[in-house]
Amino acid sequence: MSILVTGGAGYVGSHTVAELLAHGEEVIVLDNLRTGHTGAVLASAFYQGDIRDEALLDQIFTNHDIEAVIHFAASSLVGESVQMPLKYYDNNVGSAQKLLAAMEKHGVKKIVFSSTAATYGEPKRVPIQEDDPTEPTSPYGETKLAIEKMLKWCDVAYGIKSVSLRYFNVAGAHPDGKIGEDHQPESHLIPIVLQVALGQREHIAIFGDDFPTEDGTCIRDYIHVMDLAQAHYLAVEHLRKGGATEVFNLGNGSGFSVKQVIEKAREVTGHPIPVKVAERRAGDPAILIASNEKAKRVLGWKPQHEDLGTIIESAWKWHSAHPNGYAGEGSEAK
């Protein structure tokens, strides 16, 4: 039996495929390559196409004996989602609805869903627990929360069991150096800081230094992409054992400020990494830190790369070896 991974050519998707293959799983990737990369497709079974293509979904579910789906494919830029909410409702909620309809039609009863800390909005307390209030401050977070709710009702109606994984700030790369993080355009802190270290940018703009934190910059919970990948495998195992529909936070449970991340990147790269303080970015909460007790307790999740320096070193290894991301590999970066 196989696992269908939608968005398996993307950053978290490709690292999860690597983890599944390492466990001897049969994997099928479906990706439209709009933000994913050909060079990041590790599975031998690959379909290039869109989840909203019902005929394609029918073909995949008919051709393969699919036991479970891991659903990554989505639009995921918070700022863009505020400008283009309908794109996010179509691409995220609309696609998930089509995927679940195909699963229902073909009797597939297990799904792991890529959710986000953005479902919480501005947290009422940290560390954030899974049953804390969810009040997204962007259409991105809102659409991910809508899908979590759709999943809950698909369990009630069709017995489709799901695990929604709310990621905090993902970083790092696979230890074998073949896959890593490459977004076009890049908007995440650690890759941008490393682009400064590589001389591709002159400085890093710090988005606000007047937040109510010790050094005035935002605090985030950084989690290694391979620890995230491990959690997806454990989520499939949870469902295989007959586990219930659940939501889990995935973070390390400790926070670092933007200035602390930059300082750690200076240590790792040996580059001075000049900074400029800029305006706050709309919708950035001051502090996001996960409680990860539930994932550890229920899934048996054991993060292996909790140290921020290790996470940045792993990202640095990828970025310094692939300064142009997948574009430098002779494969298309779309």
Sequence-ordered list of residues with C-beta below 8 angstroms from that of 259, at least 6 positions apart, any chain: 206, 209, 215, 217, 275
Q: Using CB atoms within 10 A of its CB, is residue 282 exposed (0-12), middle (13-18) or buried (19+)?
A: exposed
Per rule CB under 6 A, count of chain residues that contact ligand UFG: 21
Active site (annotated) includes residue 11: no
Considering the rule CB under 6 A, would residue 187 count as an interface residue with ligand UFG? yes
Phi-psi region of 3 (alpha: psi -120 to 50; beta: other; left: phi over 0): beta
CA of 3: how far to CAs of 96, 122, 140, 274, in Å?
A: 16, 35, 26, 44
Using CA atoms, how far apart are residues 77 and 140, in angstroms rounded to an integer?
A: 7
Considering the rule CB under 6 A, would residue 322 count as an interface residue with ligand UFG? no
Sequence-ordered list of residues with C-beta below 8 angstroms from that of 267, at least 6 positions apart, any chain: 309
Considering the rule CB under 6 A, would residue 146 count as an interface residue with ligand UFG? no
User: Toward ligand UFG, which CB reaches closer, 2 or 252?
Assistant: 252
Applying CB under 6 A, which of residues 99, 189, 228, 268 lies at the interface with ligand UFG? 189
* String marking each residue 23-62 x if it binds ligand UFG according to CB under 6 A: ----------------------------------------
User: Toward ligand UFG, which CB reaches closer, 201 or 334?
Assistant: 201
Applying CB under 6 A, which of residues 2, 6, 76, 230 lies at the interface with ligand UFG? 76
Applying CB under 6 A, which of residues 29, 30, 70, 78 lies at the interface with ligand UFG? 78
User: Toward ligand UFG, which CB reaches closer, 65 or 267?
Assistant: 267
Considering the rule CB under 6 A, would residue 206 count as an interface residue with ligand UFG? yes
User: Toward ligand UFG, which CB reaches closer, 67 or 284?
Assistant: 284
- What are residue 18's phi and psi, to 5 degrees? -60, -45
- The residue whose Cβ lies closest to ligand UFG is 218
Q: How far is the CB of 22 from ligand UFG (least distance, A)?
A: 25
Given the structure tokens 């400020």, which residue do they identify?
A: 257
What are the structure tokens assigned to 51, written together? 């989840």
User: Toward ligand UFG, which CB reaches closer, 27 or 78?
Assistant: 78
From 11, 47, 88, 140, the catalytic residue: 140
Considering the rule CB under 6 A, would residue 166 count as an interface residue with ligand UFG? no
Q: Using CB atoms within 10 A of its CB, is residue 6 exposed (0-12), middle (13-18) or buried (19+)?
A: buried
Using CA atoms, how far apart are residues 91 and 93, in angstroms rounded to an integer?
A: 6
Residue 112 contacts residue 12 (beta carbons within 8 Å)? no
Q: Which amino acid is at 171?
A: A
Residue 235 contacts residue 247 (beta carbons within 8 Å)? no
User: Toward ligand UFG, which CB reaches closer, 17 or 286?
Assistant: 286
Considering the rule CB under 6 A, would residue 118 count as an interface residue with ligand UFG? yes
Considering the rule CB under 6 A, would residue 122 count as an interface residue with ligand UFG? no
Considering the rule CB under 6 A, would residue 249 count as an interface residue with ligand UFG? no
Using CA atoms, how far apart are residues 210 and 18, in angstroms rounded to an integer?
A: 40
Applying CB under 6 A, which of residues 35, 169, 230, 249 lies at the interface with ligand UFG? 169
Considering the rule CB under 6 A, would residue 282 count as an interface residue with ligand UFG? no
Closest by CA position to 205, among listed 290, 117, 284: 284
Among the residue ranges 2-10, 173-181, 201-209, 228-236, the one whose residues contact ligand UFG (CB under 6 A): 201-209
- Which residues are tagged catalytic? 140
Site of interaction with ligand UFG (CB under 6 A): 76, 78, 116-118, 140, 169, 187-189, 192, 204-207, 218, 220, 258, 281, 284, 288
